[in-house]
Structure formats: structure tokens, C-alpha cells
Amino acid sequence: IHDSSFFQNHVTWYTSLIAKRSSLDSIYQKLQSVEGIWGNRGQIRTVEFQQDNIYEENGERKKKEHNARVRWGIAWTFERAVGRVRSCMLRGGLQSFVVSIPVSDDVVDAVNEVSSRLITYFDGVRDLSLKCIDEYRERNTDGTTNGSVKERCITVIEERFSGASTSHHEQDNRNLPHEGHFVMDAFISIKNTHQNSSDNVDVEVCLEMFAHTTYGMMLVNKIRDQMPGEVGRTNR
């Protein structure tokens, strides 16, 4: 770790193979305090290796269960993190919700209505200034295209990372992604229509959230906690 700090501009990724899980936890915690990495989940990756876990039976390759021969790998970098990276994707808590919209003409109106409600909600989050970007994008990508269908998406980041502000927070570090501590993508799509139920349309909002720091996770939880109720309420 000391050598990597000294030669941080010479190598992109540093790696280490570890025999004990307790050592992995200790090294991970140590890296969290290294200048240029501290607090940034996107700059540290871990992987588990199960040695000798494949065997052949009657010509068929099978995987051993409960194999005790396990090793761990850890990698870290001093390069600026990427905003949307799988290791920083939040998979717990609220992931999606449905909003029922009465529509008189076209289902596109329902998508536009939910998009407008989301932007209004994000603009009104207390004690937090957010920047909303209304666009069409593919799911779970870092900006590259993989041929998937692009969907209506409201992307949310802290406004101070949008280029409109130069303010800093004590939780910031120099290698945060350009998007900041978190990125939230709210994908909007038609779930189904109710032909015989007052012409209501169910619009699904699917959230993809990437938090690079514990501070970013706190902000994501704050933003999404009230989202279904506020976006879905009918007394407008």
C-alpha cells in the first residue's frame, strides 16, 4: 500500500492475493484511509477465488459445494472513479414503484406526467440542491452503448457537481467521479393499461443508484425514502 501511494501515477491498478478473510477486511479498511482513495468505493474492488472447485463426472464438468479452498483478491486504483460502476450499485431498499395515471389521450402523456412529477420531487428535496437531467439512455451503462433500448430517464446528481457550482464538502475527495458522491437514474416506462378502469395507465419507475461513498449512500436513502408517496399522490 505504501509503495502504491508513492508510485500512484505509474500503475493504473494495484492488486494483491490474500489467504485470510480477516486480512482482506484489514487491508480494505486501510485503503479507505489512503490519500486519493479514502471513502471512494469505486476505487477498490474485491473478488473471491474458489480453488479446485470444478470436477468431472461422467464427462460432465461440475462445481464442488462448500469448498474450503478459498482465496481473495483485492485491487485499488488512484485514477478517478467512473460514475456508474457495478461495484457501487445499490441493490437493497426501494428499487422500483408504480404510479397510476389517468390519461385521456395517449399513454405518452402518462410518461410525461410522471417525468414532471419526478423532477418536481427532486427539486423539492429538503436541504439538498439537486440537478436533474431528462434524457433517453440505456440501463446500467457507464456512458457506452451496448445496443439495448434507450428509455426515458431522469438522472439526478448533486447540483454542485454539474459544473454550475464550485462549492466543496468535507466528505469530498479528489478522485470522486465527475457526477459526485452518487448517481441516481430513474427509468420511466409503461407497465400496463387498464382499458376498463377509467383509462388509467400504470407507469413504472425503476431506480438504478450508484453510491461511491457512505455520504453518497446517505443522500440516496434520503432522496428515495419519500419518493413513491410523493410522486404517486393524487391530491395535486
pTM: 0.75
Domain boundaries, the chain: 2-79, 87-232
- In this prediction, residue 31 carries a pLDDT of 87
User: 116-157 pLDDT, tens per residue?
Assistant: 999 999 999 988 999 999 999 888 766 566 677 889 999 999
| 46 neighbors 15 (Cβ within 8 angstroms) | no
What is the amino acid identity at position 101? I
- In this prediction, residue 235 carries a pLDDT of 64
The alpha carbon of 205 is separated from its chain's Cα centroid by a whole number of angstroms, namely 15
| 114 neighbors 134 (Cβ within 8 angstroms) | no
pLDDT less than 50: residues of the chain: none
What is the amino acid identity at position 221? N
- In this prediction, residue 220 carries a pLDDT of 94
Number of H helices, E strands in the chain: 5, 10
Return the bridge partners of 210, or none.
89, 183
- Kindly report the CATH number that applies to the domain delimited by 2-79: 3.40.50.150
Task: Write down the H helix ranges in 71-213.
Answer: 107-123
